[in-house]
Structure 1
Amino acid sequence: MYDTQIEHQLLGALMVSSDITGTVADINGHVIAEDFHDQLSKEMYERILELVDDGQEVNPMTLMSKKLSLDFIADISVLGISSHIAVGLADKVAKQSETRNLYLTAQQIMSYLANGEDVELVKTNLIEYLSDGRRDTFETTKHISEAVMPTLINIAEQRGQEGVPGITTGFKSIDKEIGGLLESSLTIIGARPAMGKTAFALNMAEGAARLANKPVLVISLEMSNDMLVKRMLSTRSLVDADKIRDSRLTEQEFSDLSYNAEKLSELPIWFDDTPIQSFTDIRSRVLKLKRQQGELGMVLIDYLGLVETGNEKNSSRVNEVSKISRGLKILSKEIKAPVVALAQLNRGVEQRTDKRPLLSDLRDSGSIEQDADNVAFLYRDDYYRSDDQQSNDDEISQVEFIVAKNRNGKRGMVPLSFDKKHNLMTDWRPNHQSPNTDQGW
């Protein structure tokens, strides 16, 4: 699973190169220092890269200045034939490295299983290894001609279609404002507690799965699958959520629930309610479902503040959340599907006269607003009214969907209706008329 001679030949090819900078650029992405099995070979490769970065020549004298063995340098020097074979040798060294790593990973997994380790943790480790795409970097640079025609074809295909360019949110007014959720995009939806974040998310997940007919994964770090399904049943059947929770149902209401339960079961929606998850856990589960289903329509995470990083104890939460948001953006590009994450807002909102959220209100924000393609907030004015200002009509609230950032379009506000009794959020209905939730089944 290793051939030291090939490693030595690669180093010799680098030493005889008349354009060492160009040769190193050619093998970049094909091989890394960790691929070398022989420790002396690894050290020499690292010193060669250092010399190139510093703009120095690579020869026995400069390598000796890096405190490498003179005997080893001499042995490598006589192996150099031509720099033109460097890429081929680099691929061989990398292939041997991958073979060794896979063999060691398989041995480790067998050891874990034999010792009774958690099966899910073992599978996660294996998925992470198999999903490692570090060797694809040399294929990512493309001439503009390779990008123009696919883009034009995509525009032509969308030109003859109705609907939105991205995955529908399930809300026509929001789709019209932001164009749906585009492939490989990260959307953050923030709000203070009790604004209807989870209700909005579940309505969006159900609408996207039903209208786009693509798999939707809901990762809930706060609520159980049972609680989520009860909310969705209330929304679709228009049976009071409190009556479902307390099992105080009439025969007709139970019949309505049964009918809608059957219909919901047919939707391509998956739940994961593991209460404590790191970003690595989430990534592994997302990639696993994508492999199983072939594609994903949307990944929805409720909520960002509960995701763990597993980093060192001294790391600040701001830095951790920044790494998570960056990771989610990269994940959206990996799966070529939109990722939507709910987020809590700072309490500073409550101290202002105008309590409509701002980008600066994102809790532990770090680089969230930089990584996200879209940032939107949910705001209910009636939540802040005093008791004597409330009315019966407030069973249905107006919710403002505030688009604070839209990388591919304009910002603005979209009014929505929130039926709190049934956890139902819809496009704005000024007369509070009941929607036809049967539509689309």
Structure 2
Amino acid sequence: MTNKKIGIKKQLPNNFLAERMILNCLIFNSEIIELTVETLPTKAFYFKNHEQIYKAIIFMQRYRLSIDIFSLTTFLQENALLQEIGGITVLIELTNEIPNLLDLEEYIRVVKDKFLRRSLIKFGYKTINISYITNISLEKTLEQLENELLNLTTQTKKVLVPNSAELLNEVFLNLKNQFLKPSLPGLPSGFSELDLLTQGFQKSELIVLAGRPSMGKTALSLNIALNALKISKLPVLFFSLEMAKQQIMYRILATETNISQTRLKTGQLYKNDWIKFNKTIKFLSKLPFFIDDSPNISIQEIRSKIKQVLIEQNQVGLIIIDYLQLIKNINVNSQNRVQELSSITRSLKNLAREFNLPIIALSQLSRNVENRVDQKPILSDLRESGSIEQDSDLVLLIYGNKTNPSNKYSDPIIELIIAKQRNGPTGKIYLNFDKDSNKFVEGIEVMDKNN
């Protein structure tokens, strides 16, 4: 890397008048200081003397000192800051006119806009400079830059704390809409009994789908993804940390065509199969289904890829991660697996809230379940259970130790247990599972295997 860093030569974005008008408003009405401080950091002021005056006003407010032109001048003088801000002339100029408090919000918006633009420019130069440093791994460099950009993005969002009247009005409107047009408040799974108990997968919820290996976790999650896509038409993003995307596609094709994976992979298709296959390909090609099979993916990378799909599609209906224990956590060092997983599950819950959408995370169950006489899984069978159980809003456990006596093909009956639901009842439903086509059917039914 060259020793001379790339510098910023042009004057950065600023608005002298807007900064001055904010200070003017604060001097004339100290009651608005707290509200202004919540919105505008001290570094938002481009001119150093304005920043110093703003800091002084905040300090005086914090210690309940009266604030006017006289007390502010005295405070600055006693703390050897008066000359630093340009003398008493600057303060007099600030108060030459009576401010219009109705315009304060617009002044703040302008100053914050310029501040964020300056921050973005500096971020750009930092990106260039840090890219020359080759003794830091590219992964850490990208993660650092992504976090800084995320912080900038977060600052552009205006978050207001709603009062009870606003919340009640929102509840009333939701109830009214449900009364006029009855529908699931959440994203449908495509299984009516499950949707009846859960009212669909709710926005900002973390849903955990857990089971022992080969119980059909991936297959069920793909069935849910396809059902949600067909019903809601909203994009679905599937993260496959264990299986390649080609394998995922074979499973999806088997589910949609009812042709076994074996015959699909070996090309043993009959004439009718080809007709069904081509029709399915055309249909699936139109669905906004995104599959990422990056191994050892981190939470930061998941967030980044969700944003990419959001930018392209404008919205996302559902995120599915297969599976939880394979997510890489690059922020936790020298900690045990329980602490590491706690950080991951907490981050996934935060992602669900940040993007306001449901996230389904698949999870392994511990071997303890196989050592019991009753092998029906319970919440404590979740591997590294504490954090998963605590952070999740909905926990679905797959139990497949049953067969259908009325089914001559002996397809297993899967018991899907709702072991936890933060905002609803627990319970269970039964699904018939055909391993050849990776298809789940509601109730106890005989599947057509004459393909």
Query: Into which bin does the TM-score normalised by the smaller protein fall?
Result: 0.7 to 0.9
Moved more, 404-413 or 221-230: 404-413
Structure 1 residue matching 2:189: 3-state secondary structure: coil
Equivalent residue in structure 1 for 2:35, among 23, 26, 29: 26
What's the offset of the Cα at 1:155?
2.2
1:341 aligns with 2:355: no
CA distance in 2, matches of 1:127, 1:15: 33
Is the Cα–Cα contact under 8 Å of residues 378 and 400 in structure 1 kept in the other structure? yes
The aligned runs of 1:135-284 (5 Å cut-off) are 135=155, 139-284=159-304
Number of the residue aligned with 1:368: 388
1:101 aligns with 2:101: no
1:415 aligns with 2:424: no
What's the offset of the Cα at 1:4?
11
The aligned runs of 1:46-65 (5 Å cut-off) are none
CA distance in 1, matches of 2:450, 2:35: 61
Cα root mean square deviation, aligned: 4.5
What's the offset of the Cα at 1:337?
2.3
1:289 aligns with 2:309: yes
CA distance in 2, matches of 1:40, 1:308: 46
CA distance in 1, matches of 2:387, 2:53: 38
Q: Deviations over 1:397-424 (max 9, x none)?
A: 1111111222222111111111112111
Q: Deviations over 1:223-277 (max 9, x none)?
A: 1110001001111212222232344444444443333222222222111111221
The 1:179/1:101 distance shift into structure 2, 3 A limit, reads same
Equivalent residue in structure 1 for 2:321, among 301, 306, 309: 301
The 1:160/1:358 distance shift into structure 2, 3 A limit, reads same
1:428 aligns with 2:443: yes
Q: Deviations over 1:203-238 (max 9, x none)?
A: 000011011111111111111110001001111212
CA distance in 2, matches of 1:324, 1:40: 44
Is the Cα–Cα contact under 8 Å of residues 210 and 398 in structure 2 kept in the other structure? yes
Is the Cα–Cα contact under 8 Å of residues 26 and 87 in structure 1 kept in the other structure? no
1:397 aligns with 2:445: no
Is the Cα–Cα contact under 8 Å of residues 290 and 335 in structure 1 kept in the other structure? no
Number of the residue aligned with 2:75: none
Moved more, 340-349 or 100-109: 100-109
CA distance in 2, matches of 1:435, 1:115: 60
What's the offset of the Cα at 1:140?
2.0
Amino acid at match of 1:425: F
Q: Deviations over 1:131-158 (max 9, x none)?
A: 7443367632122332333332222222
CA distance in 2, matches of 1:166, 1:284: 25
Q: Deviations over 1:48-99 (max 9, x none)?
A: 878977x67599xxxxxxxxx9423774595666797987776565334312
Number of the residue aligned with 2:347: 327
Is the Cα–Cα contact under 8 Å of residues 188 and 231 in structure 2 kept in the other structure? yes
CA distance in 2, matches of 1:204, 1:131: 33
Is the Cα–Cα contact under 8 Å of residues 434 and 447 in structure 2 kept in the other structure? no
CA distance in 2, matches of 1:354, 1:363: 18
Number of the residue aligned with 2:81: 72
Q: Which runs of 5+ in 2 are unaligned?
A: 1-11, 68-77
What's the offset of the Cα at 1:336?
3.0
CA distance in 2, matches of 1:424, 1:311: 38
Q: Percent identity?
A: 27
Number of the residue aligned with 2:399: 379
The 1:340/1:45 distance shift into structure 2, 3 A limit, reads farther
Is the Cα–Cα contact under 8 Å of residues 299 and 339 in structure 1 kept in the other structure? yes
The 1:234/1:276 distance shift into structure 2, 3 A limit, reads same
Moved more, 201-210 or 123-132: 123-132
Is the Cα–Cα contact under 8 Å of residues 349 and 356 in structure 1 kept in the other structure? yes
Amino acid at match of 1:236: E
Structure 2 residue matching 1:217: 3-state secondary structure: strand
The 1:140/1:346 distance shift into structure 2, 3 A limit, reads farther
Structure 2 residue matching 1:72: 3-state secondary structure: coil
The 1:231/1:48 distance shift into structure 2, 3 A limit, reads farther
Structure 1 residue matching 2:414: 3-state secondary structure: strand
1:350 aligns with 2:365: no
CA distance in 2, matches of 1:14, 1:239: 72
Structure 1 residue matching 2:440: 3-state secondary structure: strand
Amino acid at match of 1:30: T
